Amino acid sequence: MLSSTDFTSASWELVVRVDHPNEEQQKDVTLRVSGDLHVGGVMLKLVEQINISQDWSDFALWWEQKHCWLLKTHWTLDKYGVQADAKLLFTPQHKMLRLRLPNLKMVRLRVSFSAVVFKAVSDICKILNIRRSEELSLLKPSGDYFKKKKKKDKNNKEPIIEDVLNLESSPTASGSSVSPGLYSKTMTPIYDPINGTPASSTMTWFSDSPLTEQNCSILAFSQTPQSPEALADMYQPRSLVDKAKLNAGWLDSSRSLMEQGIQEDEQLLLRFKYYSFFDLNPKYDAVRINQLYEQARWAILLEEIDCTEEEMLIFAALQYHISKLSLSAETQDFTSESEVDEIEAALSNLEVTLEGGKADSLLEDITDIPKLADNLKLFRPKKLLLKAFKQYWFVFKDTSIAYFKNKELEQGEPVEKLNLRGCEVVPDVNVAGRKFGIKLLIPVADGMNEMYLRCDHENQYAQWMAACMLASKGKTMADSSYQPEVLNILSFLRMKNRNSASQVASSLENMDMNPECFVSPRCAKKHKSKQLAARILEAHQNVAQMPLVEAKLRFIQAWQSLPEFGLTYYLVRFKGSKKDDILGVSYNRLIKIDAATGIPVTTWRFTNIKQWNVNWETRQVVIEFDQNVFTAFTCLSADCKIVHEYIGGYIFLSTRSKDQNETLDEDLFHKLTGGQD
């Protein structure tokens, strides 16, 4: 038998603050516990003492000093290290969060503050009906994001009331499984592939989901363009260092929102973090395609990515076209026609597949690797030399390019032979100026060799550009994607080719366009409004017949073809260096960039990485490449964990395949990105 004094010495008082949703102030509850009591027992005692009849299943204990959840309810207080001085909070795991989507729409929904961010984003994407949640993450906006808006608000006498899409009725409120919304892993098409409207067969699903038909159209359709004034008031990065600041706020995917100091009802940005978009399908991805289009659109308008004036006009024409189709009521009447078109397309595809005459050419493609041979102009940049191109006879076979002084010497030794596997291929094109160039950055042990090729016309450029792009991925022209790639390039060039002979739209159409809405503020300042409108409408002639979803996909493809696409910048200091540099992280490579000039210094490809690790004490990232090449750097503009996660995240995404049926190896993701804190 234990005496009362023995009992008192073995137990102690624990104060727990209860975050009760129905009361404004939190209340302290004192419990008498012992170190061998498990966390589940503490919560049971707590609920009994509170004595309020309600569903407590979503509540858990949060340890304020240690900044962690006590979610392992079978663990004892001793095992967790909880003592009498611990400050514990009994609070719901799911709390309200405001998310700014890529289309700048604000959504308010209930999110798990106890699950790791990777899992929380997966749940959010299921509610919003966005597939491939691993490509997205949450970004805490920097002070610069709000800076210009605050200046504007001071001048406004009337407060601006924002229209927030409230999805509070989401079933995650009670901690139960997430509603699928329209999210489906079946092969049943859930969107019209022509205009992105929900397919009629899935309309009945809306009643069980917070994503109603109206809400779905808000997420899947492009909103009215911002006014030029609103556009000018938004934050625009002016340098690579400014761009690096934008990427400092990515949340750690392997820790929870609460552990990262996120407060209830705080505003975060939901963004596509990894520029590796897998299996984009109009039948299932209307919301995903639209949000991706919007993220690309804002990147162009706010000059987060550079493009030429000619490219800016193409983007403007596509935006204008998409805006018109989105506002038009006619887009709602396509469904019945598109169903017929879809059947016809499927039958024609089947006919092509079954056509016997194709077999010989298919066999030929497998056995014979095609080659390209033609006269091209070459320029190898050297210091103190003018940019002078010299003509050579070029031969492209397998993944290598060789050049000779003339055609007659083709059977002999080439001047130089280069393997393009792993190289960077950058378009250097000005259609109006009849300039069709290809810039090649070929990796060597200590950096990159740079060379420029100049073609005579569009067809030649499309063939050689497509061959170079495939070779950089280790593929030859025998690959089935070669011809479609040639056609894609030609199609993009035709969009750039403004047909001056074509009739520009009527003056009525001119009047309903505000051209400054579709270009960056800097581009708008260079031209008068009427002149800009005429040029946009001229470019619009080439895309005027495109259906809505195709136009968005074409915009995304044009964005992907920009030289700077997919680069995320960080300010770093390389080991042994006395100055700061910019590190660009892409889906397949790391680039060291001179912070002052913006010129790439060295490129390292992920395929050449043997191992990478982080020294968590010195916060230094160390990477080992093939050929005993090492590099190490400390990150100055963000925590090194963010850069570490980017590298591991891209390597994780490269392991995906369609055979996985959309199931992800979450453990592998955390193994590649988590590190050892």
- Tens of pLDDT, residue by residue over 336-376, are 444 444 445 555 544 444 444 433 343 334 446 788 999 99
Contact 497, 542 (CB under 8 A): yes
Q: How confident is the model at residue 600 (pLDDT cuts 50, 70, 90)?
A: confident
Q: What is the pLDDT of residue 659?
A: 64
H helices of 29-155, in order, are: 39-50, 77-80, 117-128, 143-155
Report for 160-174, 468-482, 484-498, 564-578: range of highest mean pLDDT: 564-578
Contact 214, 207 (CB under 8 A): no
Q: What is the pLDDT of residue 173?
A: 42
pLDDT tens-digit profile of 233-280? 888 888 899 999 889 999 999 999 999 999 999 999 999 999 999 888
**CA max distance for the chain:** 107
Higher pLDDT, 143 or 231: 231
pTM of this structure:
0.79
Tell me the C-alpha distance between 63 and 68, whole Å: 5
Contact 319, 555 (CB under 8 A): yes
Q: What is the pLDDT of residue 251?
A: 95
- Among 27-41, 329-343, 433-447, which stretch is predicted with the lowest mean pLDDT? 329-343
Q: How confident is the model at residue 574 (pLDDT cuts 50, 70, 90)?
A: very high
Examine the pLDDT at 223 and tell me if it is beyond 70.
Answer: yes
Question: Per the structure block, which two tokens stand in for 501?
Answer: 């002979």
Q: Give the Cβ contact number of residue 214 at 10 Å.
A: 9
CA distances from 40 to 15, 76, 291 (A): 16, 9, 42
What's the mean pLDDT in 522-540? Answer: 89
pLDDT tens-digit profile of 101-113? 999 999 999 999 9
- Among 429-433, 568-572, 580-584, 588-592, which stretch is predicted with the lowest mean pLDDT? 429-433
Percent of the chain exceeding pLDDT 70 equals 77
Report for 209-213, 361-365, 396-400, 490-494: range of highest mean pLDDT: 396-400
Examine the pLDDT at 497 and tell me if it is beyond 90.
Answer: no
Domains and CATH numbers, the chain: 11-92 (3.10.20.90), 96-151+162-169+187-329 (no CATH), 370-477 (2.30.29.30), 568-674 (2.30.29.30)
What's the mean pLDDT in 476-502? Answer: 77
Q: How confident is the model at residue 212 (pLDDT cuts 50, 70, 90)?
A: low
Examine the pLDDT at 331 and tell me if it is beyond 70.
Answer: no
What's the mean pLDDT in 218-239? Answer: 83
Tell me the C-alpha distance between 83 and 400, whole Å: 68
- Burial bucket for residue 142 (CB in 10 Å: 0-12, 13-18, 19+): middle
Higher pLDDT, 168 or 40: 40
Q: What is the pLDDT of residue 661?
A: 60
Question: Per the structure block, which two tokens stand in for 387?
Answer: 């940019």
Tell me the C-alpha distance between 258 and 148, whole Å: 29
Mapped onto helix, strand or coil, the DSSP state of residue 154 is helix
Q: How confident is the model at residue 529 (pLDDT cuts 50, 70, 90)?
A: confident
What's the mean pLDDT in 171-196? Answer: 53
- Burial bucket for residue 288 (CB in 10 Å: 0-12, 13-18, 19+): buried
Q: Determine the Cα angle at 157 with ends 153 and 163, to 5°.
A: 60
Tell me the C-alpha distance between 163 and 629, whole Å: 53
Tell me the C-alpha distance between 561 and 358, whole Å: 31
Tell me the C-alpha distance between 169 and 57, whole Å: 18
